[in-house]
Each structure stands twice: as C-alpha cells, then as structure tokens.
Structure 1
C-alpha cells in the first residue's frame, strides 16, 4: 500500500460501512488515497473498514452523515478537508432499495425518503465536491463517480423495485449532465452500474441471485469488481473518460 507521504489526496466514499462501498474504500486506500468512510448508522462496520485500511498502512477516518441532510453533508466535507486533506474524488455509493413492493402499494412519504437518499443525496454531495475541486473555485480538479445500477434499465426478472430503478436512472442522467457542466473546470464525472453483486443487500432481495444466473457469465458479481471499475475511473488511466456509464453486470 502507498505510504501516507505518497497519498494522492482525499476521497469520500459514501455508504462505505459494508458491501460495495467498503470494497471501494479499501481499494482506493490501496491506490494511495486518504479515504473518508462515510456511514449513516453502521458505526461498527465503518470503524472495521477504517481499521482494515490502517492495518495496511493507509489513511482513513469514519464520518457519520446522512447524505440527504444538508448539514450532515456540509460537515462531512469540512471534516474531510480538516482531517485528511484536499479532496481528489467523491464516490457517491450510499443508497437504499426502498423495499420490494408494487407501485400501487407505495406510500408517498416512503417514496420521498427514497428519492432523498438515492437522488438528492448524490446531488448534495456533488455540490460540495464541485465547490472543493473545481478550478473555478480554486481547486485542482478531480473526479466524481456515482454508483447507479443495472436496475436503471429495468431488466426483467426482479419485480417490485420500480421506484428504486427510477432513482438509479436519475443517477445516470445526473452523471451525464454534470459531466458536461464541470468538464471545463477539471472535474470528470462518470457512473458505474453494477448488476447483482454478492452483498447483504442482494442476499435480502428475493429473485436477485436467480436473475444473475441468467446473465451470460452466469454468476453473481464481487464487490471487488465494482471497486476495480471505480479505481480505474478516478485514475489518470481514465483521463479521457467522462460522461460515461460503465456497466459491470456479467452481461445483463
């Protein structure tokens, strides 16, 4: 692992206490970034990820913040600057499925909360990331990667997640639009759309594993495979890539 003296700057990974977010945080720490492990409720999980990173010589802190709460997000970015350093990248990973139910069984308050977490949250975080990294604001540029989902394409096989799929479609559209807006200011913006990945969330989703078996590769994906895609997108190797959605879904 890269030593702290060789750190490439700070990266915030939202929703990083477990699953895909935890894998991304650990991979980016291996790449030499100082990592902010964000979480909303799972403090033990976040601290475990931080401990794993530090045990390999990396830099990391855990910061609790609800990405849908403006004050929490502002504090998240303030602590990043104070405790880790200038921001180099943001990975908007935090999200919720909203549970499995047909649209005619949904509650308005429930739908509003889902939109706040999955759509408003990434936008709020991106707002602060642009303020920190944009050359128009005195920053050095950087990268934003938004974690969307193959669900944005509403594939058949898993029913009852129409609102979730709609939020992830919004994430893809947001990423594309934002990439055009901030490209002249040194910020690249891309999204990654995972298929069914071997996480607690997938395990709790009826029909998910069965759907992954229908993919050309015929298996569930690994969190590390999403982390590798994110690592590449924020690296210099992807310096000519912006406004793209990278699908990592086994061919679905």
Structure 2
C-alpha cells in the first residue's frame, strides 16, 4: 500500500521525531512523509526538514487546520494520504498493516486509528445510520484516498472538529462507510490540555455537525453538569468550562460563533 503520511507541525520537536521514527518502522511504512509546517522556529524548521521527504511551509497565512490539510493533500503525489498528528505514536510495528487489513475486510477506503488504552483492538464500522456526530473520522490518525480528499476537502470555516464535519458530508454524499479501530497500540501524547480547545470543539459540533447539540435540552444538560462539578466535585475549572459551553450554545442558537482555528 503506497501512501503519504501528512503531519501538521508547529515547533513539534522533539516528539515529532519519534512519531516519524515509528512511522518508518512500520511493516507497511509510508512511501513518503510530508510536514505541513505553520511557522516553526528556524532551528526547529531546519531540523524537521531533514527528517521528512516533503516540506511544505504554510506560515505565510493565518493558521487554519483544514487549510493546512487541504494544502498538503493538494501537494500529494501518492494515491493515498494518512493524516497523522505530530503527537500520535504508533507503538507496535504492525499497526498500519493490521489497519489496512481491516479496511480491506470491510470494503472501506476511509478510516481512522484511535488511541484507547482500554481496548486491545476494537473495530467498528460507521455509516449514516450509526454516525453520532462524534464517532467518525479522527484526524489524529486518519486515512483516505487522495482523490477523495480533493473532491471533498475539509471546510476552512469549520474552526474545530473538522474531521466530524467531513465525516458527515462523506457519509451523506458517498453513502458509504468508514472503518475505525480503537487500540492501546497507539499513544496520543498532546500534553497541552485546553478547555478552550474543548469549548471550540463543542461550538463547532453544534454549528456544523448536529444542531441538536445547541437545543434547549442539551444546554440544560451542560448547566446541570456545571452545577454537579462545583457542588459535588469542587472542580471550579470544569464547572466554569461547562457553564461557558452552555452560554456559548445559547448564543449559537441566534448567531454563528466567531471563532478562528488554532493550533494547540
């Protein structure tokens, strides 16, 4: 299986060097690795450029997750693309080989591998009937034909959860399915936990994927969760986050959120 591994980067060393090393050690390794860089410091950029086969500098424009992916896909010369995060580590050498076997057995061309430490190797197929709005393609490690990603590019106005919005369109337009593998054989090592990121994801899901998420029952649920967090857990940070989500969803019922994509 020939494929390009596309990694979005921004001052991602030293972790991304390990990510690249794990990719090259796969029994089904990528034919080439591309870094789509959003303006890393000169020293990091020089070091990273030496580690990859294709270097694409997109720092001359405002950062946007979807645009970065789309530009990388446009520059791809291979038939398939693996979009993989700069902090996702494939711990076993046969992860991609097993994943490709799962795609073939399901008859799918699109899929994701998700880190889940409670699962050895759980395979599920997602179609229009089973898509919940949050269980689709995951751009931390996702695979699709290059031609398909060019036909259905990621929407730049979707400021977060662009993978779920893409899944919704893919399932609706192509009437197909995708394969998702949940496994403890990969690690998701982004140490930058951010409630702002989670807030943006909720706003994007409600605005672009499932409008029921900004319905009154959903807003009430967030408010009750906020009360629970402060009264029974004493967690002011989580309570504040949940309250902000509830208020943001209220506003989103009347006006589209004014949020820009951000690298976390």
TM-score range, shorter chain: 0.3 to 0.5
| Higher relative helix content | 1
TM-score, normalising length: structure 1: 0.33
Larger radius of gyration: 2
